[in-house]
Amino acid sequence: MEILKKLISRRRFLQVSGAGTAAGAAVAGSGGFGIGQLSTLKEAQAATVDSNTVVNKSICAQCPARCGIDVYTTNGKVHAIYGNAGHPIANGKGCPKMHLGTYILYDPDRFKGPMKRTNPKKGRDEDPKFMPISWDEALETVADRMNALRDKGESHRFGLFFGRGWGATDVGVTLAPMAKLYGSPNIGIGHSSMCSDGSVLAKQMTDGNASYSSYDYRNANYLLIFGANFLESFRPYNNNLQVWGYIRGEKAPKTHVTAVDVHMNQTLSASDRALIIKPGTDGALALAIAHVILTEGLWDRNFVGNFADGQNHFKAGEPVDAPFDEKWTLGLAEWWNVELKDRTPKWAEGVTTIPADLILKTAREFATTRPAIALFERGAHNHSNGVLNGMAIHSLNALVGSLFAEGGLAYQMGPAYGPAPANPDDHLDDYAKNGPHKAMPRIDLKGHEDGYMFAKNMLQEVPKNHLAGKPYKMDTVMFYMTNPIFSSPDATAWEKMLAEVFVIDTSPFPGETAMMADLILPDSTYLERWQDAPTYPFQGWPLAQIRTPAIKPLYDTQTFGNTLIEIGKRLKGPASEYYAKLENVENILRHLAKGFEATPGDNGVNSFESWVEKGVWYKKPYHWRQVRGEFFEWDGQGWNKPMSAEDVKKKLLKTDSGKFEFKSSYLDSKRDWVLAKTGRDPAKFNFPHWEEPKYTGTGDLHFVTPKNALHAEGRSANIPNAIALMQPAAGGRRQVYAEVHPSVAKAKGFKDGDRIRIKSTLGEVIAIARVTELTRPDTIVLPFEHGHWAHGRWAKERGTHVDSIIDNQSDRISGMANYYTGKVSVEKA
């Protein structure tokens, strides 16, 4: 603490003596307003000196981009947030949400301390009648329940569900080990199957990396974007805006962009070519592009290889039997024979509604404007055929040789963290090692034959399984940064479950989960807490940022990591020793930072203190590179060290074959299960191939409910500013509109601004129509995040809760929830 105090006073000193610099940095971050334009420099300096302003480094929490921020606090009040100029993702800049953090901190509806429910009845219309209690009582209550369940041999009936996990202090070192130490398969069910597991699994199936990709956009000459909203949501949004300015402005040659979506979002309107596709059919488009690349001989011979005789034998409609010498890929000729030979642009036009000539042009451009990247996200994989679509799209990267290449895509390296203060394996008792929980499946049936063998998580399945008692009933469930009762498909199913079990919420805000909770253990908001966060995949080289509290918690709240440590200390047996050794979040951070001593960051960060001061540790470059079909490792000077095939397999192409697999060995590893559950053709089930999506519902319109720039997942609905700025493309103000095509409005007899009723098999909702040609005639687009029945005064009962009418159907392979695959009908309300 001494060091910290010193640090803070040193920072204050710097601010006072160098006021011009601090103000200057802030001005640069705000987008180029000179202070002189607002007031004289003298006045500005005087104001800064008098105001006793402290700037703390932290991390924005409103989306997974994890931008480094400078938090300005004057006389104990946080009043401004700018991008951290020394942070490689933010670069001193912010997206439109960054500054809204002050509204989160000062949200008048925040919980003020721990509370227990006194009304035993639960439901939307039941006031929980929360009563304030002490932290001690709150923590004891949780530990007592956990200990009692364990005494009965029922520890699996305690679950901990989480959404946005940040890093070691809230998940890696605190939450995840609890599963082992206490003994429950349900500790640590994440929300990834409601988020973007479709892309993670598609990568795992083909190149063996269960991860999102990192991208080298600045050196790419072509971007082909499928169902990822690059300029409104795709990660890291703030940096995407910056990179876009460069690749579409300064860079010569300008990077060409073709974007594929179901409506004209901001990404499509800013691209060179916008392809408006029928929902669920991106795989067909990607297969046709692959078809053209092969028939026209445009594949990368260095990476993929070639026919033994050097001729191109890929001819539409004809199988090949000429020998093909593959280099870093597996199964190309077989893929052609079982699938690609018939996937002509003409065929794809019939499936996708995109004209064949545009498909042909896109394919030729993509393959000849290298380096080229094909990227995709939720739009492409939120369907029953999602993993197949993803595999087809990612295969395009292999065909043009973009994997691990300059201007291509790779995977993220982890930070050089030091070891945690304790090792869970040293604190396991006999129950932890051999208890009855060991034989229990997870409540979400992840990895179970009756469930989802390949899935990472299946949070959306929990209420269904619990209510059916299959595999069993839960007793106590705790939530960290997830609110599936609002955000999962068939969200209302959670209401029935949460009415039956003991619910613990850790949200600082009165969300829907909290309204069903028996106990509230409120987290401090992100501007009040210590926390670490390694980056989400960015440019491959490692980067780890730190949250430092800008102010002391305003209320009687506690950082979630510390809450878990305090619960852990109260558990019976050696688990408590583990948590006692962790001490607290700040201590964990100090241990992590020890790793930086041996590996100082490029910005000089080599200790806890310097990490706190700079807010980020990072170390360039990315260690590996593929150049014209050869792989090299960084040797300290350059990518000079040639890699052996075994090395490539171990570090980069982590499949059974050590190659990019068009023919997936990972999918083949559960062949019988896949065939039984999907009914797929045994000849092609493990190749990227076309399968009709299973649309849910019986209506005549596709229902698509994406994010927009002012969404902070489901978390920002109580921010009045964000509401005011909603949906700029469609002209929203305080309202969120349902975008409907004029032909639909005409046929159904309503006009722009009318209230409409949207009906699915699960129910109906009311929305306000924005009649626009920017959306397909067969699709209605209504952004997510609104229509809360709790979550604060501005969030409540404003807008439409879309997830209450979205069916709970998942991709059988990835487990990804099929958010964008429902069919609805609309009528004038």
Ligand X SMILES: Nc1nc2c(c(=O)[nH]1)N[C@H]1C(S)=C(S)[C@@H](COP(=O)(O)OP(=O)(O)OC[C@H]3O[C@@H](n4cnc5c(=O)[nH]c(N)nc54)[C@H](O)[C@@H]3O)O[C@H]1N2
- Which residues bind to ligand X, rule: CB under 6 A? 63-64, 163-164, 191, 194-196, 226-229, 232-235, 237, 260-263, 265, 277, 279-280, 282, 377-380, 480-484, 487, 506-509, 511, 523, 525-526, 560, 704-707, 709, 711-715, 784, 802-803, 806, 819-820
Q: Does 99 bind ligand SF4 (CB under 6 A)?
A: no
**Cis peptide upstream of residue 236 (ω within 30 degrees of 0):** yes
> What is the nearest approach in angstroms of Mo ion to the Cβ of residue 244?
21
Shortest distance, position 76 Cβ to ligand SF4, whole Å? 24
Q: Tell me the C-alpha distance between 641 and 646, whole Å.
A: 14
| Closest distance of CB 65 from ligand SF4, Å | 4
DSSP for residue 123: S
Please state the closest distance from residue 662 (CB atom) to Mo ion, in A: 28
DSSP per-residue string spanning 387-422: HHHHHHHHHHHHHTT-BTSTTSEE-PPPP-PPPPS-
**Cis bond upstream, residue 471 (ω within 30):** yes
Residue 60 touches which of ligand X, Mo ion, ligand SF4, none (CB < 5 to 8 A by kind)?
ligand SF4
Q: What is the 3 state secondary structure string of 75-115?
A: CCEEEEEEECCCCCCCCCCCCCCHHHHHHHHCCCCCCCCCE
| Sign, Cα dihedral of 34, 37, 40, 44 | negative
User: Is the CB of 204 or the CB of 507 nearer to ligand X?
Assistant: 507
In the complex with ligand X, the residue whose CB is nearer, 258 or 686, is 258
Which of ligand X, Mo ion, ligand SF4, none is residue 508 near (CB under 5 to 8 Å by kind)?
Answer: ligand X
Region from 55-63, 370-378, 675-683, 778-786 binding ligand SF4, contact rule CB under 6 A = 55-63
Q: Which amino acid is at 773?
A: E
Q: Judged by CB under 6 A, which of 26, 44, 73, 97 binds ligand SF4?
A: 97
For residue 13, count other CB atoms closer than 10 A to its CB. Answer: 10
Told to check if 87 binds ligand SF4 by CB under 6 A, we report: no
* Distance between CA atoms of residues 351 and 817, nearest Å: 22
Distance CA 264, CA 272 (A): 13
Helix H, strand E, coil C: the string for 50-73 is HHCEEEEEEECCCCCCCCEEEEEE
Q: Cβ of residue 191: shortest distance to Mo ion, in angstroms?
A: 7
Q: Coil, helix or strand for 787?
A: coil
Name residues contacting ligand SF4, limited to 101-160 (CB under 6 A): none
Backbone angles phi, psi at 180, to 5 degrees: -75, -50
Q: How far is the CB of 820 from Mo ion (least distance, A)?
A: 13
If binding is defined by CB under 5 A, does position 195 make contact with Mo ion? yes
Q: How far is the CB of 90 from ligand SF4 (least distance, A)?
A: 7
Which part of the chain contacts ligand SF4 (CB under 6 A), choosing from 230-238, 276-284, 384-392, 496-504?
A: 230-238
Residue 707 touches which member of ligand SF4, ligand X, Mo ion, none, C-beta under 5-8 Å by kind: ligand X
Adjacent-strand bridge partners of 503: 477
Tell which residue, 592, 583, 604, has the closest CA to residue 531.
592
User: Of Mo ion, ligand SF4, ligand X, none, which one sits near residue 483, judging by CB under 5 to 8 A according to partner kind?
Assistant: ligand X
Residue 525: contacted member of ligand X, Mo ion, ligand SF4, none (CB under 5 to 8 Å, by partner type): ligand X
AA letter at 637: Q
Quick check: 278 binds ligand SF4 (CB under 6 A)? no
**Which residues lie below 8 Å from residue 726, measured CB to CB, with a gap of 6+?**
708, 710, 732, 733, 734, 735, 736, 783
Instruction: State the nearest-atom distance from the C-beta of 742 to Mo ion, in Å.
Output: 32
Which of ligand SF4, ligand X, Mo ion, none is residue 279 near (CB under 5 to 8 Å by kind)?
ligand X
Query: Nearer to ligand X by C-beta: 74 or 825?
Result: 825
Q: Which of 88, 92, 94, 484 is close enough to bind ligand SF4 by CB under 6 A?
A: 94
Rounded Cα–Cα distance for residues 312 and 306 (Å): 8
Q: How far is the CB of 507 from ligand X (least distance, A)?
A: 3
Is residue 487 a contact partner of residue 194, using CB atoms and an 8 Å limit?
yes
Is residue 230 involved in binding ligand SF4 (CB under 6 A)?
no
Alpha-carbon torsion, ordered 436, 439, 444, 450, to 10 deg: -150
With CB under 6 A as the contact rule, the residue among 35, 63, 268, 730 that binds ligand SF4 is 63
Question: Which two three-digit tokens encode residue 296?
Answer: 């026209």
Distance in Å, CB of 21 to ligand X, minimum: 31
Closest by alpha carbon to 803, among 466, 506, 509, 463?
Answer: 463
d(CA 542, CA 536): 10
Contact, 370 vs 219, CB < 8 A? no
65: contact with ligand SF4 by CB under 6 A: yes
CB of 101 to ligand SF4, least distance (A): 8
Smallest gap, in angstroms, from Cβ of residue 192 to ligand X? 8
Of the ranges 119-127, 188-196, 234-242, 299-307, which one interacts with Mo ion (CB under 5 A)?
Answer: 188-196
Which among 42-50, 64-72, 242-250, 547-555 is the span making contact with ligand SF4, rule CB under 6 A?
A: 64-72
Cα distance between residue 802 and residue 486, in whole Å: 9
> Of the two residues 631 and 784, which places its CB atom closer to ligand X in the complex?
784
**Closer of 238 and 821 to ligand SF4 (Cβ):** 238
- Segment near ligand SF4 (CB under 6 A), from 92-100, 318-326, 414-422, 683-691? 92-100
Per-residue tokens: 157: 């009936």
User: Which one of ligand X, ligand SF4, Mo ion, none is in contact with 487 (Cβ closer than 5 to 8 A by kind)?
Assistant: ligand X
Name the binder of 648 from ligand X, Mo ion, ligand SF4, none, CB < 5-8 A by kind.
Answer: none
Residue 67 site contact among Mo ion, ligand X, ligand SF4, none (CB < 5 to 8 Å, cut-off depends on kind): ligand SF4
Encoded tokens for 632: 């090299």
Instruction: Count other C-beta atoms under 10 Å from residue 417's C-beta.
Output: 24
Residues contacting ligand SF4: total by CB under 6 A: 13
* CA distances to 154, 423, 799 from 147, in Å: 10, 21, 43
Nearer to Mo ion, 165 or 177 (CB): 165
Question: How many Cα atoms within 13 Å fall on the side-chain side of residue 456?
Answer: 18
Q: Which does 407 bind (CB under 5 to 8 A by kind): ligand X, Mo ion, ligand SF4, none?
A: none
- For the bound state, the minimum distance from the C-beta of residue 97 to ligand SF4, rounded and expressed in Å, comes to 4
CB atoms within 10 A of CB 17: 11
- Give the footprint of ligand SF4 on residues 576-595 (CB under 6 A): none
Both structure tokens of 476: 């106590």
Cβ-based nearer residue to Mo ion, 195 or 224: 195
By the rule CB under 6 A, 80 interacts with ligand SF4:
no
- Tell me the closest approach of the beta carbon of residue 195 to Mo ion, in angstroms: 3
Q: How far is the CB of 507 from ligand SF4 (least distance, A)?
A: 18
Binding residues for ligand SF4 restricted to 233-252, rule: CB under 6 A: 236-238
The first and second tokens of residue 320, run together, are: 């090949």
d(CA 577, CA 753): 61
Least gap, CB of 508 to ligand X (angstroms): 5
Secondary element (H or E) of residue 357 = helix 356-368
Following DSSP, what letter does each residue of 497-544 receive, concatenated? Answer: HHHHSEEEE--SS--HHHHT-SEE-PPPPGGG--EEEEPPSSSSS-EE
- Nearer to ligand SF4 by Cβ, of 343 and 715: the residue is 715
CB 293, min distance to ligand X, A: 19
Sites of contact with ligand SF4 (CB under 6 A): 60, 62-63, 65-67, 94-95, 97-98, 236-238
Sites of contact with Mo ion (CB under 5 A): 195
